[in-house]
């Protein structure tokens, strides 16, 4: 057994069980602890992992001003993980999922034709979106059942429900791929990506809770202020 193989076995064995996406209020380890464990990766694989996690995260493409930039980032990431076909497949699926959600939003916001999708390449998903623009799931509902819920949630403007549906599908993809990898770099990468999805949902959920609390406090203070003003006016009268 090579030193690298032994190191990766040790690394994977040290990573605590994550469990289902919405099953726990807390991650089993902190991001700081995870980064400590990842220091065991070989330098080249660490760079690959950083490129991979960057492009599949929302902040990773949020700074892009054109769709072409997003596609370029995904192409660069695919080149970086070329020795690992499973990770290339994952990138392809993540890009296609992003395309489908973007298409649903474009259509909801009044896009009467798929003109903006013309720059999305010649892949099967891009072709299906263009050819079936008026069909609720772009003709892909049978192959991608999650699209039915995503379409309905998008149409209702249910951003929270859509976020949950998309993350559920992403996590399902990662779980499916993880079943085929145990003690290799792919296993580490898939673990980190699952960790990232849970982290994203929990941060999102925390922000929603904070927003609800601030709204409640604001309403309470406003109510108290209105009561106080009313009392003052009553005395003046």
pLDDT digits (tens, 9 = 90+) for 122-151: 889 999 999 999 999 999 999 999 999 999
- Residues 74, 95 contacting (CB under 8 angstroms): yes
User: How far is the C-alpha of 16 from the C-alpha of 207, rounded, in Å?
Assistant: 26
Residue 9 in domain: no
**Model confidence pLDDT, tens digit, residues 71-112:** 999 999 999 999 999 999 999 999 999 999 999 999 998 877
Other CB atoms closer than 10 Å to residue 83's CB: what's the count? 11
Mean per-residue pLDDT over the chain, rounded: 84
CA dist 55 and 94 (Å) reads 10
SS3 65: coil
Q: Classify burial at 85, counting beta carbons within 10 Å of its beta carbon; exposed 0-12, middle 13-18, buried 19 or more.
A: exposed
176 lies in some domain: yes
Side-chain half-sphere exposure of 213, counting CA atoms within 13 A: 6
Q: Tell me if 57 is assigned to some domain.
A: no
Q: Give dist(CA 194, CA 223) in Å, integer.
A: 43
Three-state secondary-structure class, residue 157: coil
* Domain range for 215: 84-222
User: What is the domain count for the chain?
Assistant: 1
Cα 18 to chain center, whole Å? Answer: 16
Tokens linked to 81: 């993980």
Contact between 59 and 206 under an 8 Å Cβ cutoff? The reply is no
**DSSP code of residue 81:** T
Backbone angles phi, psi at 213, to 5 degrees: -65, -45
In the chain, what percentage of residues exceed pLDDT 90? 59
Q: How confident is the model at residue 225 (pLDDT cuts 50, 70, 90)?
A: very low
Is residue 21 one of the residues assigned to a domain?
Answer: no
Q: What Å distances lie between residue 146 and 17, 164, 191, CA to CA?
A: 26, 11, 22
User: Residue 74 domain-assigned?
Assistant: no
- Domain annotation covers residue 19: no
Tell me whether residue 126 is in a domain.
yes
Q: Is residue 118 part of a domain?
A: yes
- Residue 19, pLDDT score: 85
What pLDDT, on the 0 to 100 scale, is given for residue 149? Answer: 96
Q: Where are the alpha helices (DSSP H) in 109-180?
A: 124-131, 146-156, 159-178
d(CA 74, CA 94): 9
Q: Cβ of 236: how many Cβ atoms within 10 Å?
A: 6
Asked whether the predicted pLDDT for residue 228 surpasses 80, the reply is no
Question: How far is the C-alpha of 129 from the C-alpha of 142, rounded, in Å?
Answer: 14
């Amino acid at each position: 057994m090579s030193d690298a193989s032994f190191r990766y076995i040790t690394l994977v064995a040290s990573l605590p069980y994550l469990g289902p996406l919405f099953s726990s209020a807390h991650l089993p380890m902190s991001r700081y602890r995870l980064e400590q464990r990842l220091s065991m990766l070989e330098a080249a694989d660490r760079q690959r992992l950083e490129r991979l996690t960057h492009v599949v995260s929302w902040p990773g493409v949020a700074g892009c001003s054109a769709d072409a930039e997003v596609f370029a980032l995904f192409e660069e990431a695919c080149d970086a993980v070329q020795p690992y076909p499973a990770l290339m497949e994952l990138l392809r699926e993540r890009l296609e999922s992003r395309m489908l959600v973007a298409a649903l939003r474009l259509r909801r916001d009044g896009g009467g034709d798929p003109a903006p999708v013309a720059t999305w390449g010649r892949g099967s998903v891009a072709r299906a979106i263009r050819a079936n623009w008026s069909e609720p799931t772009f003709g892909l509902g049978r192959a991608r059942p999650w699209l039915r819920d995503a379409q309905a949630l998008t149409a209702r403007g249910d951003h929270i429900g859509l976020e949950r549906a998309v993350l559920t599908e992403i996590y399902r993809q990662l779980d499916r791929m993880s079943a085929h990898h145990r003690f290799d770099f792919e296993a580490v990468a898939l673990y980190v990506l699952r960790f990232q999805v849970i982290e994203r949902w929990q941060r999102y959920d925390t922000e929603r809770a904070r927003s609800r609390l601030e709204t409640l406090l604001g309403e309470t203070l406003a109510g108290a202020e209105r009561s106080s003003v009313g009392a003052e006016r009553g005395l003046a009268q």
